[in-house]
Structure 1
Amino acid sequence: MFSKKTRQEPQAAEPAPELDHSAPVNGKKTGPTPKRRDREAANRVPLVPGDRKAAARAERAAMRAQRDLEYKALQTGDERNLPPRDKGPERRFVRDFVDARWNLGELFLFVALAMMVIIMVVGNTANPQLIAFTTLALYAVVLVTILDGFLMWRRLKKALKAKFGENITLKPLRWYAVARAFQIRRARLPKPMVRHGEYPS
């Protein structure tokens, strides 16, 4: 009696087209946004290399090459490859100033060794006055050497301030200068680049 409406089967929805993230959209994006774990994995560097022996050999070779460069620079005065302790125009100025000066500290080791030998020889004579005199002479040499180093630093400090300004940090340079002044000239590293009397300007 009642006409049945023709049941229309619902049409299957067409699948939405997949977005191609690799193609630029409005000139803003050129690919899918990587996930956080993927970024972290890409940036992760293993703490322990795969081949420990090969890594150790490579590290030793690099350190040996660096030491060779630094040693050669100590012999030639090449500023680019000097150790950090000796780099910089201020330290170069200090070295040249100390090397240009006749320092009593250069002779201190020889004098102290000679005085010690004399004290040992005199000690066998059982002469207390001679022993006391030799000991006092050794102390006098030490005091004169310290005074010479103090006078050297006073003059060097004025030269450093005139060259590099009043704001220069002097404390590390002071010990650098004193330590060099008390070394034998031939044993100094970096090697002296100036002769006695050739003070830096």
Structure 2
Amino acid sequence: MFSRKKSSDVASAVDPVTAAAEIEQPGSKGRPTPKRKVSEAANKRPLVPDDRRAAAKAARSKQRESRDLEYQAMKSGDEKNLPPRDRGQLRRYIRNYVDARRNVAEYFLFIAAAFLVLTFVSSKAPGLAVLAILAVYVVVLVAIVDSAIMWRMLKKRLVAKFGADAVVRGTMMYAVMRAFQIRRARLPKPMVKHGEYPS
């Protein structure tokens, strides 16, 4: 009755929680979980950096790298690094359609520059200057009508390919503004030749 406990009984009397803690579980982190106060202190960031000049320089450098990356993407067509306004299949389809089409608007700047030179040259002939100004207005009107036709045809394609919900506000201006740019000056760079319409 009052006999000594066997060694096996002593081993079984050990706290099971302590025993489980001593056994290293597979995949465990192997270190104690830090207290909440320690974790919060490690995550704190100062609102104002100690060296403002160095922080501003680092921010400018980061912005410059981001701009350079976006510019290279606009030249190469890298979809991942394009600016947000140019990303997506819809915007790429619009760009390819506009670039495949010969738009009157893309020649507008050349025509306007030619008429401007003509008005300076023909200063002694007022009638010719008036005709040049009227011709510029006619070119502007033709470019607007041509852009409207372009958008109507493009919109049908967009609805057929992406659905009516895809044609959101700003889509028309994106297409028209690209059509008014000189082809070589467009960014992102044109990836298709004239006549290579997207399917």
- Using the size of structure 1 for normalisation, the TM-score is 0.76
Q: Mean Cα displacement is larger for which, 147-156 or 41-50? A: 41-50
Q: CA deviation at 1:79?
A: 0.2
Looking at structure 2, the residues matched to 65 and 100 of structure 1 have their Cα atoms a distance apart, in angstroms, of 32
Q: Quote how far apart the aligned CAs of 1:131 are.
A: 3.2
Q: Shift of the alpha carbon at 1:123?
A: 2.8
Q: How many residues align?
A: 172
1:70-96 Cα deviation digits (max 9, x unpaired) = 111011000000011211111101100
Question: Do structure 1's residue 118 and structure 2's residue 129 form an aligned pair?
Answer: no
- Note the C-alpha offset of 1:114: 0.7
Q: In the alignment, which residue of structure 1 is the partner of 2:14?
A: none
| Identity between Structure 1 and Structure 2 (%) | 56
After TM superposition, list the pairs within 5 Å mapping 1:84-99 onto structure 2. 84-99=84-99
Distance 1:99 1:31 in 2: 59
Deviation at 1:31, TM superposition (A): 8.0
In structure 2, the residue matched to 1:170 is 168
Distance 1:31 1:179 in 2: 57
Gaps of 5+ in 2: 1-16, 22-31
Change (3 A) 1:31 1:91: closer
Name whichever of 163-172 and 77-86 sits farther off: 163-172
Paired residues of 2:158 and 2:167 also in contact (CA < 8 A): no
Q: Which runs of 5+ in 1 are unaligned?
A: 1-22
Q: For the residues of structure 2 that align with 1:180 and 1:157, how far apart are their CA atoms? A: 15
Structure with greater helix share of residues: 2
Question: Which residue of the partner structure matches residue 72 of structure 1?
Answer: 72
Q: C-alpha separation between the residues in 1 aligned to 2:142 and 2:34?
A: 78
Secondary structure of the 1:177 match is helix
Which stretches of structure 1, 4 residues or longer, exceed 3 Å deviation after superposition? 30-35, 38-44
**In 2, are the aligned partners of 1:101 and 1:197 still within 8 Å (CA)?**
yes
